Homo-oligomer: A and B are copies of this chain.
Amino acid sequence: MTESSESNKLAILLFDRITALDAVGPYEVLSRLPGIETCFVAKEKGPIRTDNRSLGLVADYTFEEISEPYMLLIPGGFGVTEVMKDEAPLNWIRKAHEKTQWTTSVCTGSLILAAAGLLKGLKATCHWASLDLLEGYGAQPTKERIVREGKIMTAAGVSAGIDMGLQLAAFEADENVAKTIQLSIEYDPQPPFDCGSPDKAPKAMVDFILSKNKQRYSAHAAKQ
């Protein structure tokens, strides 16, 4: 694959233990924008395994090969704890952010933006179970599905990246293009239950996910 200078690049970061839908939701929307070239980028090229290890997503480009993306998209997943400690992705993000049109994240991807120092003093969102962690990096945790601060847009957990993709599509092209994309992916959600946010779920369920989330993050950190 060669870098083309004619189209605008959407660079999506891949890393070990990524949550697939964080990346693939907005990819499915934004890659349909006219003039966008979607590039999956990682420290090294090749297959990157997801959080549950059962899917490999292929990184086609290294950081060096995509130095000036038009849009930057940072997904989340349990692997963010490692990315947050690794200067290679953090430097790539900092440098790319200087010239991006949009710098975005889904789920715990905002913790990576925060660790790169990009969210200081800014409102931002995250997966609800990790939202409070943003504070440690000087960001203002904001319980909304999509939070925009200038050219930075952060989305809440996992599936929120689809909603963010459509908002971005409307900013980047126009509402008509965004609606056409929505229609083409038949995004007319009909969840069989109404339990998708902690405000709507029983407290025991919220607590269960919070404790599992903490265990996983700390178990992962302990392996270092």
Shortest beta-carbon distance, A19 to chain B, in Å? 7
Separation of A93 and B6 alpha carbons in the complex (Å): 42
Instruction: Kindly state whether residue A206 has any CB partner on chain B within 8 Å.
Output: yes
Tell me whether A196 and B205 are in contact (CB under 8 A).
Answer: no
Which of A20, A28, A162 has the largest number of chain B CB atoms within 10 A?
A28
Instruction: Kindly state whether residue A167 has any CB partner on chain B within 8 Å.
Output: yes
Residues on B with beta carbons closer than 8 Å to the beta carbon of A31: 52, 54
Tell me whether B185 and A191 are in contact (CB under 8 A).
Answer: no
Instruction: Kindly state whether residue A34 has any CB partner on chain B within 8 Å.
Output: no
Instruction: Kindly state whether residue A43 has any CB partner on chain B within 8 Å.
Output: no
Of chain B, the residue at the smallest CB distance from A155 is B186
Tell me whether B54 and A185 are in contact (CB under 8 A).
Answer: no
Separation of A88 and B25 alpha carbons in the complex (Å): 30
Residues on B with beta carbons closer than 8 Å to the beta carbon of A178: 192-193
